[in-house]
Amino acid sequence: MKTRQQGLNLIELMVTLAVLAILLGLGVPSFYNSMQNNRSTALANELVTAANLARSEAIKRGACVDLCASADGQTCIGSWTDGWIVRLTADNNVLRIWESPRDGAVILLDGNAGGGLRFAPLGDRAVFDANNPVTCSTRATDSALITSRFANCQGRQAREIDIAVSGRIGVTRVDCP
What are the boundaries of each domain within the chain?
Answer: 10-174
Tell me, what's the pLDDT at 175? Answer: 92
How far apart are alpha carbons 153 and 149 in whole angstroms?
7
Tell me, what's the pLDDT at 9? Answer: 83
pLDDT, one tens digit per residue, over 74-126 is 998 889 999 999 999 888 899 999 999 988 899 998 875 667 899 999 999 98
- The DSSP string of 65-105 is EEEEE-SSSSSS-S-GGGEEEEEETTT--EEEEEE--STTE
Q: How confident is the model at residue 177 (pLDDT cuts 50, 70, 90)?
A: confident
Superfamily of domain 10-174: minor pseudopilin epsh domain (3.55.40.10)
Indicate the pTM of the whole model: 0.81
Exposure of 23 in the CB half-sphere (CA atoms within 13 A): 6
Tell me if 133 sits within 8 A of 92, measured CB to CB. Answer: yes
Strand ranges, E, within 5-143:
65-69, 83-88, 94-99, 105-109, 116-119, 125-126
How far apart are alpha carbons 53 and 67 in whole angstroms?
9
Of all helices (H) and strands (E), which one includes residue 163?
A: strand 158-163
